[in-house]
Amino acid sequence: MSAWEEHVAAALLGTERRAPPVLDGEPGGEPGGEPGRERDGDDAAGRLLDQAALLAVRRRAGVVPVRGADLEPIAPAPVEHAPAVPDAAAARLARILAGEQIRVLPEWLDAAAGRGLRVPPRLLPALLERGRSDRMLRPSIARAAGRRGMWLALQNTDWAYLVGAGPVRAGDDPAGAEAWRSGTRHRRAAYLSGLRGTDPAAARALLREAWDREPAPDRAAFLGTFAWGLCLDDEEFLESALDDRGKDVRQLAADLLARLPGAAYGARMAERARACLTRRTGPAADVSWIEVEAPREHDAGLARDGVPFHPGGSFAPRPGGGPVGTRAAWLREILARTPLPTWTALFGLPPAAIVRLPVRGGGAPDLHTGWARAALNQGDVAWARALLGDGAAVDEPEALADLLGVLPGDERDAAAAGLVRRAPDRAELLRLLERVPGPWTGPLAAAVVAILTGSAGLPTRAAEHTLMRLCRIADLRLDPAAAERLAGHPVRPHPRPLTDLVDTLRFRGAMLKELS
């Protein structure tokens, strides 16, 4: 019986029934010694495990690597260009990944990427594993993981989600063109997205050649790479994809065409939208208004262009009113996909003046919400300013909050503070703030701190609920400098949500200093 087999037998029977064998060269293991004799104070079970570990190392040290014709070595990771974060920041990231203040992880990643830094290699496995269960985290991981992070994700199918979270840069996948010919779906999408970044025409030709042979999920994944380098040269291919047998492929093609200035798709939507809106002028030439008539039918052309019969959320209740009906939902979808220059040309007015025009028939929320979605999709600053103003009737707080991202950075806080002040109730205020990205500084931070301190001093259950929800939203977005203002609030003792908020703000403040 070999030494390894003797140790296995002792482990199976237990050291109380069979003493651990003695290894040659170990204390008590001289040749000719009595096997199993224990030294005073020796732990039999512990010695068995120690010797088994030693035997395992010996066994592995003698293994010769197998080199078969069907085995290929893995290509090495590409060279990193960005420096790793400082040691203190890396240590904090390890604490975060271990569970301490885990909700700040997206901010840590975005702050590191924004400073041109990357996650140190030793923490990449834990970070990529975290992204498996948190889809919202994946874009932030893609920005901060560096080239080695992308390379590592391509070696493990559980982490291959990272390929779809951002464009793959040239050299990130050392397998190169071979990945397209024989790789997994994620590897092939990675190669295609990298090619889109350098040669969109070549990527388009490559996909066109393979298109009919690919299953629908793969076609959708590959078509998603057109988001990088999207241009009018892609229009013909995307138009043909509107007739694809895969539902996800058709919807993705429609969404991409809606973002493509000058495409025939936008002209078709503009024709439908103009049929729904009429500008009327009263006896006085300077008095005019808009009449809105939602589409009366959902034809095959509308379906082909990506407007579903029941758009998502079409029956969600509007604030202060009934549900958004099917016809109104069609109108909102059409307006969201119509090029905004359609309206400045039709009305001969700038966006702010168009938004101020009265709307007859109660269609203002549908009209303004559709325009808000269009302004977001098309990144139109002038329309975003107009729709975030006092006269707009957008009834989706989420759409308004998302529009803030279209504004120049120096305008966002003031515009967001205006939305906070105009919120008709606490429920809409919370829905709005849930979508306003951080950091909240300047007038927005002042407005939020005022609401927090006001709610902390009220004994009602409604105020307690508002405080708890608002603290939960603000802890990741409020400027960490607000911690001391909140800590100095005169109400004693501080409510638990406010105490937790101060602790998180201080943690974030130290975190951002380490990344500076």
Lowest-pLDDT range of 265-279, 353-367, 467-481: 353-367
Q: Residue 67: enclosing H or E segment and its boundaries? A: none
Give the DSSP letter of residue 163. G
Instruction: Tokens for 122, please give them.
Output: 């030793």
Residue 451 makes CB contacts below 8 A (sequence gap 6+) with 420, 429, 466, 470
Measure the CA–CA gap between 441 and 436, rounded to whole angstroms. 12
Instruction: Tokens for 39, please give them.
Output: 């030294």
* β-bridge mates for residue 280, sequence order: 289
Q: Is 395 helix (H, G, I), strand (E, B) or coil?
A: coil
Q: Kindly report the number of other CB atoms within 10 A of residue 473's CB atom.
A: 20
Q: Residue 393: enclosing H or E segment and its boundaries? A: none
Instruction: Tokens for 373, please give them.
Output: 């979605």
- 318 or 253, higher pLDDT: 253
- Average pLDDT of span 409-427: 86
* Phi, psi (degrees; rounded to nearest 5) at 335: -65, -40
Residue ranges in 242-294 assigned as alpha helix (H) = 247-258, 264-276
CA quadruple 378, 256, 222, 197: dihedral sign? negative
Lowest-pLDDT range of 127-141, 142-156, 176-190, 485-499: 176-190
Lowest-pLDDT range of 49-58, 317-326, 367-376, 417-426: 317-326
493 upstream amide cis, omega within 30 of 0: yes
Measure the CA–CA gap between 451 and 466, rounded to whole angstroms. 9
Residue 40 makes CB contacts below 8 A (sequence gap 6+) with none
Closest CA to 152 of 180, 131, 181: 131
pLDDT at 284: 63
Instruction: Tokens for 56, please give them.
Output: 């395992």
Closest CA to 376 of 385, 367, 364: 385
In three-state form (DSSP H/G/I as H, E/B as E, the rest C), the secondary structure along 324-364 is CCHHHHHHHHHHHCCCCHHHHHHHCCCHHHHHHCCEECCCH
Residue 205 makes CB contacts below 8 A (sequence gap 6+) with none
Q: Residue 315: enclosing H or E segment and its boundaries? A: none
| C-alpha dist (Å) from residue 395 to 121, 266, 271, 278, 496 | 46, 25, 25, 22, 33
Residue 356 makes CB contacts below 8 A (sequence gap 6+) with 391
Measure the CA–CA gap between 330 and 245, rounded to whole angstroms. 23
Q: What is the maximum span of the chain, computed from C-alpha positions, in angstroms?
A: 119
Chain segment 25-64, per-residue pLDDT in tens = 555 444 433 444 444 435 888 888 888 888 888 878 877 7
* β-bridge mates for residue 476, sequence order: none
Residue 393 makes CB contacts below 8 A (sequence gap 6+) with 359, 364, 365, 367, 368, 369
pLDDT at 42: 57
pTM over 0.95: no
pLDDT at 494: 74
Measure the CA–CA gap between 265 and 351, rounded to whole angstroms. 22
| C-alpha dist (Å) from residue 222 to 183, 217, 241 | 13, 9, 12
Measure the CA–CA gap between 489 and 500, rounded to whole angstroms. 14
Residue 263 makes CB contacts below 8 A (sequence gap 6+) with 232, 235, 257
Chain segment 128-156, per-residue pLDDT in tens = 999 988 988 998 999 999 989 988 888 88
Closest CA to 108 of 92, 130, 129, 125: 92
Give the DSSP letter of residue 407. S
- 150 or 87, higher pLDDT: 87
Are 161 and 88 contacting, i.e. CB atoms less than 8 angstroms apart? Answer: no
Name the packing angle between helices 87-97 and 105-114 (round to 10°). Answer: 150
Averaged confidence pLDDT in the chain: 85
Instruction: Tokens for 491, please give them.
Output: 């109400």
Measure the CA–CA gap between 339 and 371, rounded to whole angstroms. 10
Does 235 have pLDDT greater than 70?
A: yes
pLDDT at 130: 93
Q: Residue 3: enclosing H or E segment and its boundaries? A: helix 3-13
| DSSP secondary structure string for all residues of 77-117 | PPPP-SPBPPHHHHHHHHHHHTTTTGGGHHHHHHHHHHTT-
Chain segment 296-316, per-residue pLDDT in tens = 899 999 999 999 887 654 434
Amino acid type, 158: D
- 385 or 192, higher pLDDT: 385
Instruction: Tokens for 186, please give them.
Output: 């994620």
